[in-house]
């Protein structure tokens, strides 16, 4: 046990989730690691117990299955040691929208959006009551760029970013920090699962570099962290342009440009 809050990480058996587990373990945090793959999860847990001397619990769960999701929700509600949630579990799909099967689309949406929202909802009341806690949601730059052609995946990540920003506004005054992390192409198994050869992509970030950068943003308490973006001013300008439109939304009549002629 440490005096630091424990961290629950989904999708923790490999890739971004495993890197978060390693980094938080190095910082002295006990861990609760969640994944479908129990063998891999156990190997990560055993290594971190040995290397970092922290307590590591494992929770095998497929977050597209309601019973498994409910078990993780219960752990978040009931285990008051947990003070950080890393909503990392996610997937992608290969092919175009017209090629993707409806059931596969439904599973993707369930994992990338519903699980994220439910787990955040399970822990947020306890964090708000305590006046402390953090929720890290792994989103993607794809959610900002329909031009990338990943329509369903991008839509789920746009949901994650919006949810994070909304929760930040709601929970921030209560002492709860919410961070959206928006990676670009990162060297994880998500590409293989989607049928994409990662080595054909023009620029791919190492997962350790991504998580290290995301944790710099975490320590700075950034609401949105975009590790690959060189110019932070571009994001600031994007936010300013969006916010400048808000007063124009409150109108009793359609804008002049939409009124019938004559």
pLDDT at 131: 98
Indicate whether 108 belongs to any domain. yes
Indicate whether 29 belongs to any domain. yes
Catalytic positions: 153
Domain that holds residue 21: 6-232
Indicate whether 241 belongs to any domain. no
- What's the sign of the alpha-carbon dihedral 85, 51, 214, 157? negative
Strand order in the sheet with 31-35: 56-60, 31-35, 6-10, 82-87, 134-138, 177-181, 224-225
pLDDT at 33: 98
pLDDT at 73: 98
pLDDT at 21: 98
Indicate whether 30 belongs to any domain. yes
pLDDT less than 70: residues of the chain? 1-2, 188-201, 262
Q: In this predicted model, what pLDDT tens digit does every residue of 118-130 receive, in sequence order?
A: 999 999 999 999 9
Gyration radius from the chain CA atoms? 19
Indicate whether 117 belongs to any domain. yes
Indicate the angle between helix axes 15-26 and 38-52, nearest 10 degrees.
Answer: 20
pLDDT at 1: 45
Indicate whether 262 belongs to any domain. no
Whole-prediction pTM: 0.93
Indicate whether 116 belongs to any domain. yes
Report the CATH number that the domain containing residue 119 is assigned in CATH: 3.40.50.720
What domain count does the chain have?
Answer: 1
Phi (first) and psi of residue 10, to 5 degrees: -90, 155
DSSP 108: H
pLDDT at 2: 54
pLDDT at 261: 85
Query: Collapsing DSSP states into helix, strand and coil, what is residue 225?
Result: strand
pLDDT at 44: 97
Indicate whether 69 belongs to any domain. yes
Using CA atoms of 187, 230, 144, 22 in order, give the dihedral in degrees to the nearest 10.
40
């Amino acid at each position: 046990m440490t005096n630091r809050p424990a961290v629950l990480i989904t999708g923790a058996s490999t890739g971004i989730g495993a890197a978060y587990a390693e980094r938080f373990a190095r910082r002295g945090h006990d861990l609760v690691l969640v994944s479908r793959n129990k063998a891999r999860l156990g190997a990560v847990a055993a290594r971190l117990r040995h290397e970092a001397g922290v307590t590591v619990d494992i929770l095998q769960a497929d977050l597209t299955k309601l019973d498994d999701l409910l078990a993780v929700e219960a752990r978040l509600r009931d285990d008051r040691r947990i003070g950080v949630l890393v909503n990392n579990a996610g997937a992608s799909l290969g092919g175009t929208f017209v090629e993707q099967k409806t059931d596969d689309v439904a599973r993707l949406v369930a994992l990338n959006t519903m699980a994220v929202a439910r787990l955040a909802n399970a822990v947020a009341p306890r964090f708000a009551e305590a006046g402390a806690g953090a929720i890290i949601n792994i989103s993607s730059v794809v959610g900002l760029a329909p031009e990338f052609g990943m329509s369903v995946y991008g839509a789920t990540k746009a949901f994650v970013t919006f949810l994070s920003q909304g929760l930040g506004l709601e929970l921030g005054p209560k002492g709860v920090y919410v961070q959206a992390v928006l990676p670009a192409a990162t060297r994880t198994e998500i590409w293989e699962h989607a049928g994409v050869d990662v080595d054909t992509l023009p620029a791919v970030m190492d997962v350790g570099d991504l998580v290290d950068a995301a944790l710099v943003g975490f320590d700075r308490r950034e609401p949105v962290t975009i590790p690959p973006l060189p110019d932070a001013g571009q994001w600031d300008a994007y936010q300013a342009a969006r916010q400048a439109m808000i007063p124009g939304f409150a109108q009793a009549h359609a804008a002049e440009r939409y009124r019938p002629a004559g």
